Structure formats: C-alpha cells, structure tokens
C-alpha cells in the first residue's frame, strides 16, 4: 500500500512536468460573492484567506475584524483595489498592506478607525487613490504618506481632527503635494471648531520641531557615555571594553567636532564615571576583571593617572557606577553583579574614596540610580534576582524603604522630574518597559511601552522638552516626548541603522544653543 502510494505520487509529478504551470484557482469564502477578478465579502468574522492570488479587487463590508495587522494581505499580491466600509476595526498596524506593490486604490471609509500607525502604508508604491473618509481619526502620524509619490487623490473628510501642533505637518504636506486632498474639520480647540483643515494657515501654529539627526561617530563601540564640563569646556568620556579604555573627548571649536583628548587604560571596563572638584578631575573606571580603579588629575595641564584600587574584595563584577552627594561629600555607588560581591557605597576620605557601606549583597545588582524624593537622597537598585529596591539616606547610611511592585525583570532604571512630579523609566530586556510616577509613598505604574531587547530607557531634557529614548537590539529605537497636558510619553521619532545599532547609553551636551546627544552602541549580544 505504501509502495503504491509512492509510485502514484512520482507518476503524477512526472506527468505534470510537461504542462505549463498555472496559479491555484483558490476558493470563494462562504461570506463572499466572487467573479473571475473580484470579490465582495460581507459579515465575515475575520479576513478571508482562500482567494486566488491573482485576485485584482477585494471589498470587505461589516466584517468582525478588530485590527489590521502587519502582512494581512500577503497572499493577495496582485490586488489593484482594496475597499473597507462599515467595519468595526479601530487600529491599523505598521506594514498592514505589505506586499501590495500593485495596489492603486485603497478605500478605508465609514469604519471606527481611531489610530493608524506611521508605517501602515509603507510599500504602496503604486497607490494613486487613498480614502480615510468618515472614520474616528483625530490626528495622523507624521510621515504617514512618505514614499507614496504616485498619489493623485486623498480623501480625509468626515474626521474630527485635533488642530494643534500634531496637525502642522499635514498642513505643510498639503501645500506641497500634487495630489488633490479632501480635508476633514477641526473638533478642537474650540476657537477652530468646525473649520476645515484646508482653511488653516500653518503660520498660526507656534510649534517647536524636535528631531534628532546623526552628527558624528567614534570608531570603537562602547557600553557607557558620560558628559561633563572641565575648565568650562565640554567633554565626553566613553567606556570602551573592546578597546580596553576610557576615552575622553573634548570639543574642537575649529573642526566643530569632538576629538580625542586622553585615554585611560581600562581593560574590560563597563563604566567611566567623571567627577570634577574645582581644578581636579577624577574618573572612576569600573571593570569586570582586574579591579576597579580611580584615576585623578590634580590640576589642568597634567595627565590623568591611576591613584587607587577600589574595594578589591567587594567589587568583583561591577555593572554600573553612579555619582551622588551625601552630607556635602561626593560618593560613588558601584552596582555589583556578582553573587559573591556586594554593591558598595564609596565616599571621599582624604585623597581617595573608601567603602562607606555595603548594600544589597547576594542579589546580583545590574544598575544603580541616585535620586531625591521628599527632600532626601534616595538610591534605587535594579537586580537580576528581585524587583527594584528603593533605599533612603537615614542616620548616615542607606536604609531599605520599599520595593517597586509590578516590576519584575528590570535591567535598569532612570528618573526625571516634570511639573513637580518624579517619573521613573524602567528598562526591561524581555517584555514591556515601563514608566512610573511617585505618589508620595510608592512608584505607581503609569504607562507600558513595548520594547524588544532594551538595555537603556534614558530620559533627556532638551530645552523645555522632556524626551525619553527607549533602545532596542532587534528593532528601531524609539524617541518619546512627554505631553504636558496628558502626562504620558508619546512617540516622536524612530532611530535606527546605520547610526544606531544596539544602544547601551545616551547623554546630551548643550553648547552655543546646540544640543548634542552622545550615545553608545555595542555589538554585545
């Protein structure tokens, strides 16, 4: 029986060898009516998938689809027309129409769409007619129409737009594009209610554009970056484990670039933390192997030199170092990721820095963050073995205050202040990263942000704009902007190759009204 079956298959294959290949005919789903090149589906519980791949026109009416996900129509590469009407889906994801390179007509009308992703229309290089009429759109993401150079007609009527700075890019696009555009009306603010977008003057919006762009790269990858000012001049120090050094850069006013000033030998370094005390410069080099060191420059004109090995019996595998001031004295806290080591507080005593307190032993700490709450110094430690723990300075030492609920597997933490509140950015490598807000006794969850392989979630205050960059090893890193009215971080920009791959740290420098964002990338997996 088995042998006969095999012989039959071989004979069929041989018989088909001389016949011209024809695409599969496909089947018309029960909820659809089909002709040779088109299909109309009404009341389908989901997206039908059994059509012939040569289908040219598809109309979907009153389906049960809740969202259009990436690659929803990859099996229909020949489509020229796609229509949705009276459906209940409210979200269109990135690359929802991927693979439809021949699509010319896309009508998404009379649905409940309230959100469309920035890259939802990516790849529709033949699109000439687009309608998003009569939906629930209040705004459109910037660059939504990027790459759609063939557009001749766009219909946005029947949407109630929020006519603030978020709509400015659309007004500017309308004034430059060759396509005819049917526009919707403003729902807010009240002074612009019911006014058509095409009647708005872009000059009436007083908006500040924020966009980060590539400026300069430094050869070797790095794990950490710190900016500081020494003798009134801007500097940057990079922790470069592959090169085995802390590399100090200074601004060259002639070249208008950062140039190397000095390098400190530091094999397996993970953090280079600077401290400026008057004319003296210190750099703590936290190293995975070989012991952490303190380098010092007593006065300008001299080179940095190693002056001290730091707590060799306690700091066995440092992962992060932070600077903080306690009772008027500078201190470093070094998070130790070794199970046999101990996170250690080192404070200045005479010419060096010496252990003041061991913290959180046996918990394999990955990150330390110094912050002030209720007018007192606090310290937050993230660990590989438990939720982040918050300590407060009491009686000349750090005492445990609380841990952070709903925060498992947190790799690192960073904080920022806005409108009198303290916010916390929690980085998670697996799972959503989080934003929390201090309520006076506890950090409470405010927002979750999807992240893929994140090692850094860094808040940055640039001018009056509070930003936060969420790094990613497997996708584009995301720049978020804190919307003062909402109190939430909203997507602002994507950062990706070639300038940004696997980011590990960010910092920023202000100089002559210009903002620079030194960032570290690493090839670590």
- pLDDT tens for each residue of 319-342: 999 999 999 999 999 999 988 889
Instruction: In whole angstroms, give the CA distance from residue 307 to residue 304.
Output: 9
Q: Which residue has the higher pLDDT, 90 or 264?
A: 264
Neighbours of 520 (CB within 10 A): 23
Mean pLDDT of 490-495: 84
β-strands 352-359, 57-61 pairing = unpaired
Q: Where are the beta strands (DSSP E) in 45-121?
A: 57-61, 67-68, 81-85, 91-92, 105-109, 115-116
Instruction: Return d(Cα 99, Cα 73) in angstroms, integer.
Output: 7
* Integer-rounded Cα radius of gyration of the chain: 29
- What digits encode the pLDDT tens for the residues 428-483? 998 899 999 999 999 999 999 988 899 999 999 887 889 999 999 988 899 999 98
- Identify whether 202 is preceded by a cis peptide bond (ω within 30 of 0): no
Matching residue, tokens 């080192």 = 346
Is 10 a residue whose pLDDT tops 70?
Answer: no
Neighbours of 188 (CB within 10 A): 13
CA distance 471 to 482: 17
The H or E element spanning position 8 is helix 2-16
Q: Cα–Cα distance between 318 and 224 in angstroms, integer?
A: 13
Domain architecture of the chain: domains with CATH: 33-204 (3.80.10.10), 211-300 (2.40.128), 310-385 (no CATH), 404-524 (no CATH)
Taking the C-alpha atoms of residue 276 and residue 171, their distance in angstroms, rounded to an integer, is 48
- Whether the per-residue pLDDT at 1 is higher than 50: the answer is no
Long-range contacts from 475-480, C-beta under 8 angstroms, 24+ separation:
477/503, 478/449, 479/212, 480/449
Q: What is the pLDDT of residues 176-229, one digit of tens each?
A: 888 899 988 999 888 899 899 989 988 888 776 677 777 788 878 899 999 999
Strands (DSSP E) contained in 397-495 are 397-403, 412-418, 421-427, 433-438, 443-449, 457-462, 465-470, 477-483, 488-495
> Are 163 and 156 within 8 A, CB to CB?
no
Closest CA to 82 of 58, 98, 102: 58
pLDDT exceeds cutoff 60 at 516: no
* pTM of the full structure: 0.65
């Amino acid at each position: 029986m088995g042998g006969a079956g095999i012989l039959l298959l071989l004979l069929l294959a041989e018989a088909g060898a001389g016949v011209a290949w024809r695409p599969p005919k496909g089947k018309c789903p029960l909820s659809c009516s089909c002709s040779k090149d088109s299909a109309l589906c009404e009341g389908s519980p989901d997206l039908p998938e059994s059509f012939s791949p040569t289908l040219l026109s598809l109309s979907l009416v009153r389906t049960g689809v809740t969202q259009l996900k990436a690659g929803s129509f990859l099996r229909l590469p020949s489509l020229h027309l796609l229509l949705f009407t009276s459906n209940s889906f409210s979200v269109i994801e990135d690359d929802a129409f991927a693979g439809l390179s021949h699509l010319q007509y896309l009508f998404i009308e009379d649905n409940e769409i309230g959100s469309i992703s920035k890259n939802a229309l990516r790849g529709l290089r033949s699109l000439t007619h687009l309608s998003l009429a009569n939906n629930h759109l209040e705004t459109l993401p910037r660059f939504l129409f990027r790459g759609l150079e063939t557009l001749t007609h766009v219909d946005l009527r029947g949407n109630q737009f929020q006519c603030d700075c978020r709509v400015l890019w659309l007004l500017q696009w309308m004034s430059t594009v060759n396509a005819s555009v049917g526009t919707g009306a403003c729902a807010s603010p009240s002074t612009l209610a019911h006014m058509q977008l095409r009647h708005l003057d872009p000059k009436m919006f007083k908006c500040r554009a924020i966009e980060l762009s590539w400026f300069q790269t430094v050869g070797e990858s790095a794990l950490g970056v710190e900016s500081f000012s020494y003798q009134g001049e801007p500097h940057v120090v990079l922790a470069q484990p592959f090169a085995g050094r802390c590399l100090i850069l200074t601004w060259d006013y002639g070249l208008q670039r950062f140039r190397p000033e000095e390098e400190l030998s530091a094999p397996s370094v993970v953090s280079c933390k600077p401290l400026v005390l008057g004319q003296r410069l210190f750099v703590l080099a936290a190293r995975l192997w070989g012991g952490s060191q303190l380098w010092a420059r007593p006065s300008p004109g001299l080179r940095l030199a190693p002056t001290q090995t730091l707590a060799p019996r306690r700091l066995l595998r440092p992962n992060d170092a932070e600077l903080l001031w306690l009772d008027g004295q500078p201190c470093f806290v070094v998070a130790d990721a070794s199970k046999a080591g101990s996170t250690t507080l080192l404070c200045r005593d005479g010419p060096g820095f010496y252990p003041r307190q061991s913290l959180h032993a046996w918990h394999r700490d990955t990150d330390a963050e110094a912050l002030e709450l209720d007018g007192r110094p606090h310290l937050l430690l993230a660990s590989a073995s438990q939720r982040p723990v918050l300590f407060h300075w009491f009686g000349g030492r750090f005492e445990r205050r609380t841990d952070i609920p709903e925060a498992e597997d947190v790799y690192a933490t960073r904080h920022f202040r806005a409108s009198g509140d303290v916010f916390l950015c929690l980085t998670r490598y697996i799972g959503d990263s989080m934003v929390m807000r201090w309520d006076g006794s506890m950090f409470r969850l405010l927002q979750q942000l999807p992240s893929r392989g994140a090692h850094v979630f860094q808040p940055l205050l640039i001018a009056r704009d509070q930003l936060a960059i969420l790094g990613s090893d497997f996708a584009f890193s995301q720049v978020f902007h804190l919307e003062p009215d909402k109190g939430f971080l909203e997507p602002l920009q994507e950062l990706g190759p070639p300038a940004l791959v696997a980011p590990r740290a960010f910092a920023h420098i202000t100089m002559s009204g210009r903002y620079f964002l030194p960032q570290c990338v690493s090839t670590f997996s």
